[in-house]
A and B are shown apart, each in its own frame.
Chain A
Amino acid sequence: MDMAAWKIALSTLVLGAIVGYLGQRSRFCTISGVRDFFLVKDSYRLKGLIGIIIGGVLGFALVNRMGGKLANFTNPGGWEFMPMLRDGLNIAPAVLIPVSAVGAFLLAYFSVMAEGCPFRQHVMAGEGRSSGMLYIAGLVAGVVFYDFAIIPYLQTLTVTG
């Protein structure tokens, strides 16, 4: 790997470590934030989710102003920039939008059953909780399953041209 690749890899590691440290101290969780507010009107964790949006708006605006390179920042676009549209997947919006919406709904639904968002599960694994560690093991197995079973199916829905 060249220097630029190492820079990217190390920056993600450092960012993850800072956020993981803060996440452990604050019990930050996006899913539990909404859940706590809905069930017991406790807004402590919900403030974290709102904080990401505030921090993102401030951060992106400042980085853009201070000469940072942000792709498509002035024209972020709509569905054509959706995260699922990656190399080899060029799915028509009529399929992509409902599939993404259902995926997001079910991710949140099952995350309530797992008592935390994927980030919180990483933090719990770092704290020594066995459910977090097994969740991560399931996540790894799930990624391989997704690559072998789901991606080939999604590629049949790909539009060309």
Chain B
Amino acid sequence: MEQNILRRIVNWLRWNLGFKLSSNMALITGVTMGVLAAVVQGYFGVQPPAGDGICAVSHPADLVNWVVDKVFGTSFVSHEIFIAVPVLTSVGFILGSYAAAMRNKEFKFRRGPVRDHMQAFILGFVIINFGMLWGSCPIRTAVLVSYGMWFAVLILGMMVLGVVAACLYIKWKVRRAN
């Protein structure tokens, strides 16, 4: 029944708006993220702070802090709501991705895009420290923009500038090598 309705909606979008599912999968993922962030905040009480339904920087950090606090009795700084509750978003990311990869026979132990293992470790170490200075990943920053926080627009702009600067550096490096 639900599948039938979903198929009808997709067909309607395809024929009336030229909408193709395969070429808009990232858009659908993004829209789903935004909607789910609102749902968990509004109906499941994932707040304060506001707009904290989904994050790949502060949520893993809060989970690590929660575990360290429980094991060693420390009191590291965490988001108010996650002091007593473990936030499992990052575990969910990995489990969901694993399930999708297994279902589509894409799971395989292999090297990633960063070939040097030490470099991958250091990048994770460095990026979380810079990310924690702002306190959010680009996904949560976009969620905060949609929540109406004007300062998040400035921060999203800084992130775009950071990507552009890195691209220009890579271009310069390639040109120099040639």
Contact = CB atoms under 8 A, between A and B. Distances in A.
Interface of A: 1, 4-5, 7-28, 30-31, 33-35, 38-39, 44-45, 47-60, 62-64, 68-73, 76-79, 81-84, 86-89, 97, 99-119, 121-132, 134-147, 150-151
A81 B27 contact: no
A26 B142 CA distance: 18
**Interface SS of A by simple majority:** helix
Contacts of A135: 112, 114, 120-121, 123-124, 127
A68 B46 CA distance: 12
- Looking at B48, B137, B159, B165, the one whose CB has the most chain A CB atoms below 10 A away is B159
10 contacts: A12-B88, A20-B92, A56-B35, A78-B149, A83-B136, A108-B160, A128-B110, A131-B113, A138-B123, A146-B128
Given A56-B37, A77-B149, A142-B125, A127 B96 contact: no
Interface of B: 23-54, 56-61, 64-65, 68, 74, 76-81, 83-101, 104, 106-115, 117, 120-151, 154-156, 158-167, 170-171
Contacts of A100: 133-135, 155
A142 to B, nearest CB: 4
B25 A25 contact: yes
Contact of B123 (A60, A113, A125, A146): A113
Nearest to A29: B26
B92 A12 contact: yes
Contact of B95 (A16, A101, A136): A16
A21 B134 CA distance: 27
B166 A108 contact: yes
A114 B120 contact: yes
Contacts of B92: 12-20
A126 B91 contact: no
A59 B53 CA distance: 12
A72 B150 CA distance: 13
A35 B126 CA distance: 20
Given A51-B33, A143-B128, A126 B96 contact: yes
Contact of B93 (A16, A38, A55, A115): A16
A101 B135 contact: no
A38 B48 contact: no
Contact of A68 (B38, B129, B155, B160): B38
Given A12-B46, A81-B149, A59 B97 contact: no
B30 A83 contact: no
Contacts of B77: 86-89, 147, 151
